[in-house]
Amino acid sequence: MTLTARTLARRLQEWRGTGHAYLALANRIGLLITDGGISPGTRLPAERELAAVLGVSRSTVAAAYQELRSGDLIESTRGSGSVARLPRRAIPRPDPFGAELDLSKAAMPALSRLPEAYRAAADALPEALEDPGFDPIGRLDLRTAIADRYTHRGLETSPDQIMVTIGAQHAISLIARTLLHRGDRVLIENPTYSHAIDAFSEVGARMIGVAVDATDGWDELALEQVIGRGTPALAYLMPANHNPTGQSMPTLLLERTLADAATHGTLVVVDETMAELTLDGPNPLPAAVFGPAIMLGSVGKTLWGGIRVGWIRAEAPVIHTLVRARFAGDLGTPVLEQLVVRELLPHFDDILDERIQWLRAGRAHLLDRLARDFPQWQVPPPHGGLTTWVGLGAPVSTQLVIAARSRGLTITAGPRFSMDGAFDRFLRIPYSNPIGHTDAALDVLGEVWDAVTARPGAVAAVDELAAVV
3-class secondary structure for 394-430? CCCHHHHHHHHHCCCEECCEHHHHCCCCCCCCEEEEE
Strand pairing class (74-77; 206-213): unpaired
pLDDT of residue 89: 62
What is the rounded distance in angstroms from the CA atom of residue 442 to the CA atom of residue 390? 13
Lowest mean pLDDT among 67-81, 259-273, 304-318: 67-81
Q: How confident is the model at residue 281 (pLDDT cuts 50, 70, 90)?
A: confident
Q: Let me know: does 415 contact 409? Beta carbons within 8 Å.
A: no
DSSP per-residue string spanning 437-463: HHHHHHHHHHHHHHHHHTSTTSS--TT
pLDDT of residue 73: 86
Give yes or no for residue 457 having a pLDDT over 60. no
Alpha helical stretches, state H, 5-111: 5-12, 21-34, 47-54, 58-70
**What fold is seen in the domain 5-84?**
Arc Repressor Mutant, subunit A (1.10.10)
pLDDT of residue 147: 97
Count CB atoms within 10 A of the CB of residue 259. 12
pLDDT of residue 462: 35
pLDDT of residue 107: 93
What is the rounded distance in angstroms from the CA atom of residue 19 to the CA atom of residue 463? 9
What is the rounded distance in angstroms from the CA atom of residue 164 to the CA atom of residue 336? 13
How do residues 251-275 score in pLDDT, each as one tens digit? 999 999 999 999 999 999 999 999 9
Give yes or no for residue 467 having a pLDDT over 60. no
Was domain 114-347 assigned CATH 3.40.50.150? Answer: no
pLDDT of residue 277: 96
Q: How confident is the model at residue 72 (pLDDT cuts 50, 70, 90)?
A: confident
What is the rounded distance in angstroms from the CA atom of residue 82 to the CA atom of residue 74? 6
Q: What is the DSSP letter of 188?
A: E
Was domain 101-111+350-467 assigned CATH 3.90.1150.10? Answer: yes
> What does the angle CA 400 – CA 302 – CA 104 come to, to the nearest 5 degrees?
15
Give yes or no for residue 464 having a pLDDT over 60. no
What are phi and psi for residue 282, nearest 5 degrees? -75, 165
Q: How confident is the model at residue 352 (pLDDT cuts 50, 70, 90)?
A: very high
Q: Which residues are CB-contacts of 428 (< 8 A; sequence separation ≥ 6)?
A: 106, 244, 387, 388, 389, 390, 411, 412, 414, 417
The model scores a pTM over 0.75: yes
Q: Let me know: does 248 contact 385? Beta carbons within 8 Å.
A: no
Cis peptide before 115 (omega within 30 of 0): no
Residue scoring higher pLDDT (467 or 265): 265
Residue scoring higher pLDDT (389 or 87): 389
Q: What is the DSSP letter of 307?
A: S
Residue scoring higher pLDDT (172 or 33): 172
Lowest mean pLDDT among 16-30, 166-180, 233-247, 384-398: 16-30
Q: Chain-centre distance of CA 157, in angstroms?
A: 27
Q: Which residues are CB-contacts of 206 (< 8 A; sequence separation ≥ 6)?
A: 183, 184, 185, 186
* Percent of the chain whose pLDDT exceeds 70: 94
How do residues 152-176 score in pLDDT, each as one tens digit? 888 999 999 999 999 999 999 999 9
Give yes or no for residue 469 having a pLDDT over 70. no
Dihedral-angle region of residue 334 (phi above 0 means left; psi in -120 to 50 means alpha; beta otherwise): beta
Q: One fold for both 101-111+350-467 and 114-347?
A: no
What is the rounded distance in angstroms from the CA atom of residue 412 to the CA atom of residue 391? 14
Give yes or no for residue 46 having a pLDDT over 50. yes
Q: How confident is the model at residue 435 (pLDDT cuts 50, 70, 90)?
A: very high
All structural domains of the chain with their residue ranges: 5-84, 101-111+350-467, 114-347
Q: How confident is the model at residue 97 (pLDDT cuts 50, 70, 90)?
A: low
Q: Which residues are CB-contacts of 408 (< 8 A; sequence separation ≥ 6)?
A: 99, 100, 101, 444
Give yes or no for residue 377 having a pLDDT over 60. yes
Q: Let me know: does 35 contact 426? Beta carbons within 8 Å.
A: yes
Q: Let me know: does 415 contact 190? Beta carbons within 8 Å.
A: no
Q: With helix as H, strand as E and coil as C, how does 222-249 read?
A: HHHHHHHHCCCCEEEECCCCCCCCCCCC
Q: Which of 11, 85, 3, 15 is nearest to 56 (CA)?
A: 15
Cis peptide before 250 (omega within 30 of 0): no
Give yes or no for residue 456 having a pLDDT over 70. no
Average pLDDT, the chain: 90
Name the CA dihedral angle for 274, 204, 427, 37, rounded to a multiple of 10 degrees.
-100
Q: Cα–Cα distances in Å, from 182 out to 40, 42, 172, 306?
A: 20, 22, 16, 32
Q: How confident is the model at residue 90 (pLDDT cuts 50, 70, 90)?
A: low
